[in-house]
Amino acid sequence: MEFDTVIHGGTIVTPTESWQGDLGLVGGRIAGLAERLPGGARRIDATGRLVLPGGIEAHAHIAQESSSGLMSADDYYTGSVSAAFGGNSSFIPFAAQHRGQSVDAVIETYDSRAAPNSVLDYSYHLIISDPTETVLTEELPRAFARGITSFKVFMTYDLMNLGDRGMLDILTVARRHGALTMVHAENNDMVKWMNARLAAAGLTAPKYHAISRPALAEAEAINRAISLARLVGAGLFIVHVSTPEGADLVARAQASGLPIHAETCPQYLAFTRDDLDRPGMEGAKYICSPPLRDAATQAALWNHARRGTFESVSSDHAPYRFDASGKFANGAEPAYPAIANGLPGIAMRLPYLFSEGVAAGRISLQQFAALSSSNAARLFGMERKGALLPGYDADIAIWNPEETREVSLADQHDAMDYTPFEGMRLTGWPEHVLSRGETVVEAGELKAARGRGRFVARAPYRPDPNAPVEPELTPALNFGAEIRP
Ligand code: URP
Ligand code: ZN
Ligand code: ZN
Ligand code: ZN
């Protein structure tokens, strides 16, 4: 075999083991793995380095308007560049349908934002906020046929919240087509009720954001979302789980064989609600939903990452600058409900997970590969990505596991004016990121051209074929053609 590239001498991390050897590439694909491979017009020395599957960022808000119309700071160029510096070879941001919009038009809009700009391969999860009859019966099936095989819904935010009936409709369409429904699970009325009480008491500083969205609001919504998915026999992916209560519900559902999946995010492991109480308006930098919790939560979430309750750790990169274009779009000292929700972190997801996970001895290299790449590829149907195996895309991140560096804004390469990770000392950094065999980032420099990334048509979601069906529910509802839509 004539390899065009050989990555030699590194520790190669496959789903089952790590071993020292060479990886040979042909035409952008992985073509050979062996202790020693000859040849290669291009040889990349990976001695003393880890050779990992390039990260797949499965939760990021890029060139996306929030429900109130605020545009994220990162577009598909800065967003993908920042992701690449953080060890990612591909990403799946959201294409958001706001009320009244046609899904076809939304996809066209995001294609025009992504295709000319992205340096990484990409797809979208479709956010549905308006599941009309046309959306359910025509537009979602069309999106699905183009390889957009995941739909996200919200149980909170007045302009996004679908209600239980809307969720059942989406879950049913998803089940029929083999799409995976993602859900932001927080009880909207609990939050609104808390907001009203806090407002009446004049408690509007950023720290009250955490109080307004209690753990119970997440746990209740997760329990309800799982129940709705069970009713229609659909799979479900719960995004940004932030509480032990919520994670326990997911773990219990998984233990009974249900196709329930979940992620957590670095911010819930790295920060606490005390960060919302920083001086002045600094706490606004840490406003995200669900909110930051406490140290006991962090330990419990790490346990769930280690035992596999979480199949992915995603950034939920939602970049709003610390100025009038972002956090302060509604004034210089807004009450917390008027501050844009979200933290930037697409470049820090993997360095943080590596340092505090692998280097700190909490997770193995195989778990790191699974949480950062392989599981997302499997759940979201990126069939040729997520593993260093023959035939797969040569999406590869070469890491220096020994390097310790202090996080700075300059490391982010995004469009932001702050990083919540500023000053943190992390051990283990990606040095060289390849996408389909092409170098995207090397030694701190961007090597890829704007727009080189390609749209990835994704395969259908296939729940665990061994999962038992629920005897009393499934025959009664008899899914498939009988239940419409
Ligand atoms: O606070 C967050 N997470 N903002 C982004 C939107 C969402 O809820 O994912
Ligand atoms: Zn070699
Ligand atoms: Zn969310
Ligand atoms: Zn999000």
Q: Is the dihedral of CA 380, 14, 441, 355 positive or negative?
A: positive
Domain range list for the chain? 5-52+389-446, 54-375
Give residue 277 CA to ligand 1 midpoint distance, Å: 20
Residue spans of beta strands (DSSP E) within 105-205? 121-122, 125-127, 150-154, 180-184
**Is residue 318 within 6 Å of ligand 1 at its C-beta?**
yes
Closest ligand 1 atom number to CA of residue 66: 6
**Is residue 183 within 6 Å of ligand 1 at its C-beta?**
no
Across the chain, which has 485 residues, the per-10-residue mean pLDDT values are: 95 94 98 95 98 98 95 99 98 98 98 98 98 97 97 97 97 93 98 98 98 98 97 95 98 95 98 98 98 98 98 98 98 97 98 98 98 98 97 98 98 98 98 98 98 98 61 44 44
Which of 92, 240, 242, 271 to probe ligand 1 with, by most ligand atoms within 8 A of CB?
A: 240
- Give the Å distances, CA to CA, from 184 to 72, 148, 160, 226, 335: 18, 19, 10, 12, 23
68 and 434 Cβ atoms separated by less than 8 Å: no
Q: Return the pLDDT at 422.
A: 98
Give residue 81 CA to ligand 3 midpoint distance, Å: 23
Q: Return the pLDDT at 476.
A: 40
The topology under which CATH files domain 5-52+389-446 is Urease, subunit C; domain 1 (2.30.40)
Q: Return the pLDDT at 1.
A: 79
How far apart are the C-alpha atoms of 100 and 107, rounded to whole Å?
A: 14
Closest ligand 1 atom number to CA of residue 287: 1
Which two structure tokens, joined as six digits, stand for 312?
A: 């992915």
Closest ligand 1 atom number to CA of residue 184: 8
171 and 232 Cβ atoms separated by less than 8 Å: yes
Sheet containing 55-57, strands listed edge to edge, beginning at the edge strand earlier in sequence: 55-57, 88-91, 121-122
CATH code of the region 54-375: 3.20.20.140
**Is residue 288 within 6 Å of ligand 1 at its C-beta?**
yes
Q: Return the pLDDT at 15.
A: 84
Closest ligand 1 atom number to CA of residue 288: 1
423 and 78 Cβ atoms separated by less than 8 Å: no
